[in-house]
Amino acid sequence: MPGGLWVDHDIHDNGPMDLHLTSKLPHIGTTIFTVMSALAAAHDAINLSQGFPDYDGPPELKARVKHYIDKGFNQYPPMAGVLGLREAIAAKVQRCYGAVVSPDTEITVTPGATEAIYCAITAICRTGDEVVMFDPAYDSYEPAVTLCGARPVRLPLQPPDYRVDWQRVADAITPRTRMLIINSPHNPTGTILTRDDMLILEQLADQHNLIVCADEVYEHLVFDGARHESVLRYPGLAARAFAVSSFGKTYHVTGWKTGYCVAPPALTQELRRVHQFVTFVGITPIQWGLADFLREHPDHLDTLPAFYQRKRDVFNAALKSSRFKLTPSAGTFFQLADYSEISELPDQAFVRWLTVEKGVAAIPLSVFYETPPEGRYVRFCFCKEEETLRRGAARLAAL
Ligand code: PMP
Ligand code: GLN
């Protein structure tokens, strides 16, 4: 469905009283992640759709958060986030990307990456602005742009390699283009941007004075020895970018909804102007607990590529004999699969059938496009125990 999401007519039903509502997001329904997880639960399917682990965060991290709850760290933190956490983030950013950033003026802790992305977009974009993004696009970008009165310019990434066609980007830029949204490692395709991509982007952004919103929530989930090309490694890009991260992915605690945004002082000031009135702050004891854990276990990050690469490999190996065609994911905890040898159903019908009849839930790819290209693809999530992956893959291999 163009616009990317399934429309849930229940939420558009005005009930007995006609309120004369004109929706500001008429094409948006309930997100595919909620829809598919609910369908999986209703049919007791193995849920390889929405991206969340079926294992827990580190015990020491949970212990630190419990400690701070018990010690009474339960009131509002500073609007920009607990200072100790911002300092730990600054140390991490320097260690990972060689960038020196100020905890005072360049780091903001947010209730999840979603809030940071929303605040970055709404802080910058105005009516009539154009925002370039790449389809398939994570589902939160387009509504944020639309709510600003700006126009999403959605450039499709073509299967099977989903590389950015930078000439096409250059051609799409107009005097109205204000922002460009990138996401690497990329959800849902599992591709990553290279150093060459970043250098071209740096040059284009400079030439056209664009602000870059870099969704880097899977920054530590990069495989086969590749390096994550953060905007923070490129001074020319870092000077005009919001770099957004999520502790949910990095510490296996998606439900804690805690992330952060690194941006130069002028952008951080604009982000905070919005953030302070969207949510004001994130959750206090979680921020204190994360601050301790980041300081005491910096090595946790180094374990993640191998941890997730193994899960990818277990899942893909178990599908080797299947009729799904896979190009191994280069990053994220998602694996795309071409099911064209299995079914002629369109992807949304296919995932319903797969969930209801075969007991495995997946995400259809077309919902992340404005205009889906040819091809039949679904996304599987592999941030699951190996036993879950094997059970899921066994069902898929039998198709
Ligand atoms: N961006 C992408 C690409 C994601 O996959 C997610 C996952 N939920 C988010 C942003 C949002 O992260 P958070 O849960 O921290 O809001
Ligand atoms: N980012 C997760 C995914 O892509 C889902 C997050 C959500 O449900 N909003 O599966």
Domains of the chain: 32-57+302-397 (3.90.1150.10), 59-296 (3.40.640.10)
Atom of ligand 2 nearest to the CA of 140: 9
Structure confidence at residue 2 (pLDDT)? 39
Atom of ligand 2 nearest to the CA of 254: 6
Helix and strand numbers, DSSP H then E, in the chain? 14, 12
Atom of ligand 1 nearest to the CA of 259: 15
Structure confidence at residue 12 (pLDDT)? 52
Question: What is the radius of gyration, based on Cα positions, of the chain?
Answer: 21
Q: How far apart are CA 254 and CA 249, in angstroms?
A: 6
Stretch (H or E) spanning 249: helix 247-250
Structure confidence at residue 17 (pLDDT)? 81
Inter-helix orientation angle 300-318/386-397, to 10°: 20
What is the average per-residue pLDDT within 243-259? Answer: 98
What's the order of all strands across the beta sheet hosting 259-262?
A: 107-110, 259-262, 241-246, 211-215, 177-183, 130-135, 151-156
What is the average per-residue pLDDT within 296-311? Answer: 97
Nearest residue (CA) to ligand 2, atom 9: 33
Ligand 2 centroid from CA 50, angstroms = 5
Structure confidence at residue 195 (pLDDT)? 98
* Spatial CB neighbours of 111, under 8 Å, sequence gap ≥ 6: 257, 258, 259, 279, 281, 282, 283
Q: Is the CB of 33 under 6 A from ligand 2?
A: yes
Ligand 1 centroid from CA 113, angstroms = 6
Question: Is the Cβ–Cβ distance between 388 and 310 less than 8 Å?
Answer: no
What is the average per-residue pLDDT within 144-153? Answer: 98
Closest CA relative to residue 223, chosen from 376, 102, 333: 333
Q: State the ligand closest to the CA atom of 256.
A: 1
Output the CA angle 364-220-80, nearest 5 degrees: 100
What is the average per-residue pLDDT within 214-239? Answer: 98
Mutate which of 119, 187, 245 for ligand 1? The one with the most ligand atoms within 8 Å of its CB, which is 187
Atom of ligand 2 nearest to the CA of 187: 4
HSE-CB of 319 using CA atoms within 13 angstroms: 24
Per residue in 81-92, pLDDT (tens digit) is 999 999 999 999
Q: How far apart are CA 42 and CA 284, in angstroms?
A: 35
Q: How far apart are CA 276 and CA 372, in angstroms?
A: 37
Stretch (H or E) spanning 114: helix 113-124
Q: How confident is the model at residue 158 (pLDDT cuts 50, 70, 90)?
A: confident
Q: How far apart are CA 324 and CA 329, in angstroms?
A: 14
SS3 287: helix
Other Cβ atoms closer than 10 A to 209: 9
Per residue in 116-132, pLDDT (tens digit) is 999 999 999 999 999 99
Q: How far apart are CA 308 and CA 300, in angstroms?
A: 13
Alpha-carbon 101 to chain mean position: 23
Structure confidence at residue 14 (pLDDT)? 57
State the average pLDDT for the chain. 95
Structure tokens given for 228: 């994550």
Q: Which residue has the tokens 């040059």?
A: 203
Nearest residue (CA) to ligand 2, atom 4: 51
Q: How confident is the model at residue 329 (pLDDT cuts 50, 70, 90)?
A: very high
What is the average per-residue pLDDT within 100-118? Answer: 98
